A = this chain, B = another copy of it.
Amino acid sequence: MTMGEFDMIARYFTRPAVRAALGVGDDCALLQPSPGCQLAISSDMLVEGRHFFADVDPHALGHKALAVNLSDLAACGAKPLAFTLALALPQVDEAWLKAFSRGLYSLADSHGCELVGGDTTQGPLNICITVFGEVPVVNGRSQALLRSGARLGDDVYVSGTLGDARLALDALRGRIDLPAKLLAQARIRLEQPTPRVALGQALRGVATAAIDISDGLLGDLGHVLKASGVGATLDTSIAINLISANDHPACANGLISLKIQLGYVLAGGDDYELAFTAPVSARAAVQLAAHQAATPVTRIGHIDAEPGLRLVDAQGVPVTGDFSSFDHFA
Contacts and interface: CB of A to CB of B under 8 A. Distances in A.
Interface of A: 2-6, 8, 21-22, 25-33, 38-51, 72-73, 75-76, 78, 82, 84-88, 92, 116-124, 126, 128, 130, 132-133, 135, 137, 142, 144, 146-148, 210-212, 227, 327-330
Given A5-B327, A27-B72, A146-B26, A88 B33 contact: no
Given A45-B119, A92-B329, A32 B39 contact: yes
B212 A41 contact: no
A75 to B, nearest CB: 4
Contacts of A135: 30
Chain A interface SS verdict (over half)? strand
B124 A21 contact: no
A47 B142 contact: no
Given A4-B329, A5-B329, A76-B28, A126 B42 contact: no
B123 A50 contact: yes
Copy number in the complex reads 2
A147 B26 contact: yes
Contacts of A32: 33, 38-39, 137
Given A30-B142, A47-B124, 16 more contacts: A3-B329, A4-B327, A26-B146, A27-B210, A28-B73, A30-B38, A30-B40, A31-B38, A32-B137, A33-B33, A41-B82, A41-B117, A42-B117, A43-B86, A45-B126, A124-B126
B29 A41 contact: yes
A29 B210 CA distance: 14
30 contacts: A5-B327, A8-B329, A21-B38, A25-B147, A26-B147, A26-B227, A27-B75, A27-B210, A28-B78, A28-B133, A29-B41, A30-B38, A30-B41, A30-B76, A31-B41, A32-B38, A32-B137, A33-B33, A39-B39, A42-B117, A43-B130, A44-B86, A44-B119, A45-B121, A46-B121, A47-B121, A47-B124, A50-B121, A84-B130, A130-B130
